[in-house]
Amino acid sequence: MNEVKCECGHVNPHGTILCESCGRILDDKEKDKQLLDMRYEGSARRSQTYNKTIIDKIWNFFSSVKVGVWLIVLTLGASALGTILPQEMYIPPVMPASEYYEDQYGWVGKLYYELGLHNMYGSWWYLILIASIGVSLVICSLDRVVPLYRALKTQRVSRHEGYLKRQRLFGISDTADADMDLEKIKQKLKAKRYNIREENGNLLAEKGRFSRWGPYVNHVGLIIFLVGGMLRFVPGMYVDQILWVREGETKVIPGTDGQYYLTNNDFILEIYDKETDDEVFDAAIDRVGTVVKNYQTNATLYQKKGNTIPGEKPELEKIKDKEIRVNEPLKIDGFALYQVDYKRDELNKMLFRLENKQTKESYGNITIDLFDPQTEFDLGNGYYVEVMSYFPDFEFDGEGDPTTKSRIPNNPAFVFNMVTPENPDGEVSFVAIQQTIEPLGDNEYKMAFNGVETKDVSALTVRKDLTLWIISLGGAIFMIGVIQGAYWNHRRLWIRKMDGQIWTAGHTNKNWHGLKRELESVFDETGLPAPKDQLSEDKKE
């Protein structure tokens, strides 16, 4: 490419504004300015140099900070829109979203739903916004970091006078004994941890250059973070399942390919108690009522031994016991099980008594396991009960016939056939909670309700997330980069002897006030004045 050779002999890439080595102004437009634009050291950035092909145009679009800021602001605005009403995942599962929003929030809700804002963060356009930020991050960083690196690496100590006098901090002074003054300044600069380079009696003091890489480091962190977020969609990287398990029950942990099993030994729910807990909490408990103290599942984890064919009962090996609480998940092999929900006192067993209606005499008890009901009960002496039908979650359907809504025993009902010496063919009775129907006429016997046994059910979220380490890495790199760029500044001071005068110029990428104060103390008592701020003097009153 047509490179630009500076008078100092350094060869610069096409498009360079300030010679990378001596700082001479190579672009005539820059000469009219009182102060130089020092942002990227006047280096040749691709985006400022080429604008012909479509690739150039795309590159230039995404490398512009203006575009970047627009993308950020659009994302910000969109994110805010999504919080006006709850997102679909947070609405109660009482009715479909298509009805819920209108029902709860009227026409506003309807509009919200129709615009798709109820599920906004997963929408294609929101993802495109985020992706554009990612693309922009890559391009804008590449566009700047390479030339900036070149320029900072190549910079020479002696800078061109046009460069020096167009720095924001600049001064010319006469001095009787330049060498002695310089020596003092050097000592003080060293004490302030400046790196000092000298060349032909000229001086460049520099510190904090590494902070210039901060933005690029943090952008790399962000990119890694975004990539991590995207990997979530790769099968196998991410598991999100829920496991409902009753007390006493052992279940396979979903997502683990049948490798792991979990037993719920006990589910515990504790609330704060004014008697036993610290009395400082009394006032709060009085005001709000019950406050939950603990949700806990005492679990035992098992691993399957050997291979089993489907259907065969696996042999299990105990791995460990663990009390799973909120904030204290059970971890195994990349999986974590979290306490997330529960159901108390779910019906588990129902107890009945075969009773003669007249004499109230009992002829035996039966216990029905609502999850695995036995169908025949021989009570001896010719007494016999058969469960003809079982409806775990009973209701009448449209035709008035009994059916079941689900397999969860929320409202169990039974059809019994009671065989007794008096009725060898049996009497049929339909028994539901608080309700008995004798469809074939009056019976002599009945199944009297004799109590229930209940159990708690605990819900655990099963989670595997193999993207976590990538996301953490991205986050860590981001933090390092931000801190690097925010808590350090890149400061430079040039001193050049010209025709018996001393020229001084200072530059920092941010925090000018700090640089000025530092230079004031460096030049104090040296006989030389510190460079003056060419920009702000006119603004002060």
Partner 1 sequence: MAQLSSNLLYTAFVLYLVSIVFFSGAIKAKSADGTKIAPSRSAKIGILITIIGFIAQVGYFITRWIAAGHAPVSNLFEFTTFFGMALVGAFIVIYFIYQTPLLGLFTLPIAVLIIAYASMFPREISPLIPALQSDWLHIHVTTAALGQAVLSISFAAALIYLVKVIDQTKSDKKTFWLEVIMYTLISTLGFIIVSTAFSMANYESTFNYIDKNNAEDQIEFAMPAIVGPNEGELQSEGSFQPLIEMPAIINAKKLNTLIWSLGSGLLLYGLLRLIFRKRVSAMLQPLVKNISADLVDEISYRSVLIGFPIFTLGALIFAMIWAQIAWTRFWGWDPKEVWALITFLFYAAFLHLRLSKGWHGERSAWLAVIGFAIMMFNLIAVNLVIAGLHSYAGS
Q: Would you tell me which residues interact with partner 1 (CB under 8 A)?
A: 39, 65-66, 68-69, 72-73, 75-76, 79-80, 82-83, 86-87, 89-90, 104-106, 121, 240, 272, 277-278, 280-281, 283-285, 287-288, 291-295, 325-327, 329, 336, 338, 340, 461, 463, 465, 468, 471, 475, 478-479, 482-483, 486-487, 510-513, 536, 539-541
In the complex with ligand HEM, the residue whose CB is nearer, 81 or 108, is 81
Binding flag, residue 68, ligand HEM (CB under 6 A): yes
- Spatial distance between the Cα atoms of 390 and 432, rounded to a whole number of angstroms: 10
For residue 347, the minimal CB distance to partner 1 (Å) is 26
Contact criterion met (CB below 8 Å) for 403 and 392: no
- Based on CB atoms, which residue is closest to ligand HEM, 45 or 446? 45
Of the listed pieces 111-119, 196-204, 216-224, 512-520, which binds ligand HEM according to CB under 6 A?
216-224
* Near ligand HEM in 222-281, by CB under 6 A: 222
Q: How far is CA 16 from CA 7, 24, 46, 288, 505, in A?
A: 14, 10, 10, 69, 22
**What would the two tokens of residue 52 be?**
């012909």
Helix/strand/coil for 61 = helix
Nearer to partner 1, 21 or 218 (CB): 218
Q: Does 71 bind ligand HEM (CB under 6 A)?
A: yes
Stretch that binds ligand HEM, among 98-106, 129-137, 278-286, 410-418 (CB under 6 A): 129-137
**How many angstroms separate the CA atoms of 323 and 300, rounded?**
9
Smallest separation, CB 96 to partner 1 (Å)? 17
Q: Which helix (DSSP H) or strand (DSSP E) does residue 321 occupy?
A: strand 315-325
Residue window 165-204: x/- pattern of binding to ligand HEM, with contact defined by CB under 6 A: ----------------------------------------
Which of partner 1, ligand HEM, none does residue 404 bind (CB under 5 to 8 Å by kind)?
A: none
The binder of ligand HEM chosen from 133, 332, 347, 413 (CB under 6 A): 133
Q: Is 521 helix (H, G, I), strand (E, B) or coil?
A: helix
Assess contact for 348 and 453: CB atoms under 8 A.
Answer: yes
Query: Which residue's CB is nearer to ligand HEM, number 4 or number 222?
Result: 222
72 near ligand HEM, rule: CB under 6 A: yes
Residue with tokens 């679990």: 299
| Identity of the residue, 180 or 486, whose beta carbon is nearer to partner 1 in the bound complex | 486
CA distance 384 to 356: 13
Range 412-415, long-range pairs (CB < 8 A, 24+ positions):
412/347, 412/350, 412/370, 414/368, 414/387, 414/389, 414/390, 414/447, 415/387, 415/388, 415/389, 415/390
Q: How far is CA 537 from CA 36, 169, 532, 533, 534, in A?
A: 17, 11, 9, 7, 6
List, as own/partner pairs, every contact residues 322-331 make where C-beta atoms lie below 8 angstroms and the sequence separation is at least 24, other chains included. Answer: 322/298, 323/296, 323/297, 323/298, 323/299, 324/296, 324/297, 324/298, 324/299, 324/460, 325/294, 325/295, 325/296, 326/294, 326/295, 330/299, 330/301
Q: Which helix (H) or strand (E) holds 351?
A: strand 335-356
Candidate list 13, 485, 506, 531; residue touching ligand HEM; CB under 6 A: 485
19 near ligand HEM, judged by CB under 6 A: no
Buried b (16+ CB within 10 A) or exposed e, 268-307: eeeebeeeeeeeeeeeebeeeeeeeeebbbbbbbbbbeee
Binder of residue 52, out of ligand HEM, partner 1, none (CB less than 5 to 8 A by kind): none
CB 52 within 8 A of CB 46: no
Closest by Cα among 71, 69, 169 to 129: 71
Q: Which stretch binds ligand HEM (CB under 6 A): 27-35, 64-72, 321-329, 495-503?
A: 64-72
Q: With CB cut-offs between 5 and 8 Å by kind, which of partner 1, ligand HEM, none does residue 280 bind?
A: partner 1
Residues 143-172 contacting ligand HEM, CB under 6 A: 144
Which residue from 35, 81, 486, 535 is in contact with ligand HEM, where contact means CB under 6 A? Answer: 486
Interaction of residue 463 with ligand HEM, rule CB under 6 A: no
Q: Could you say whether residue 136 binds ligand HEM (CB under 6 A)?
A: yes
Residue 508 phi/psi, 5-degree rounding, is -140, 155
User: Would you say how long the chain is, in residues?
Assistant: 541
CB 77 within 8 A of CB 49: no
Is residue 218 a contact residue for ligand HEM (CB under 6 A)? Answer: yes
Considering the complex, state which of residue 69 and residue 180 has its C-beta at the smaller distance from partner 1: 69
The helix or strand, by DSSP H or E, that contains position 197, with its residue range, turns out to be: strand 195-199
Q: Is 370 in the site for ligand HEM (CB under 6 A)?
A: no
CB closer to ligand HEM, 218 vs 404:
218
Taking residue 210's Cβ as centre, other Cβ atoms within 10 Å add up to 12
125 is in the binding site of which of partner 1, ligand HEM, none (Cβ under 5 to 8 A by kind)? none
Name which of 6 and 324 has its Cβ closer to partner 1: 324
Rounded to an integer, what distance in angstroms lies between the CA atom of residue 186 and that of residue 336?
A: 59
Q: How far is the CB of 258 from partner 1 (least distance, A)?
A: 22
- Note whether 482 binds ligand HEM by CB under 6 A: yes
Nearest to 510 by CA among 313, 215, 227: 215
CB 67, min distance to partner 1, A? 11
For partner 1, the closer of residues 207 and 463 by Cβ is 463
Q: Which does 144 bind (CB under 5 to 8 A by kind): ligand HEM, partner 1, none?
A: ligand HEM
Which residues in this chain contact ligand HEM in the complex, by CB under 6 A?
64-65, 67-68, 71-72, 133, 136-137, 140, 144, 215, 218-219, 222, 482, 485-486
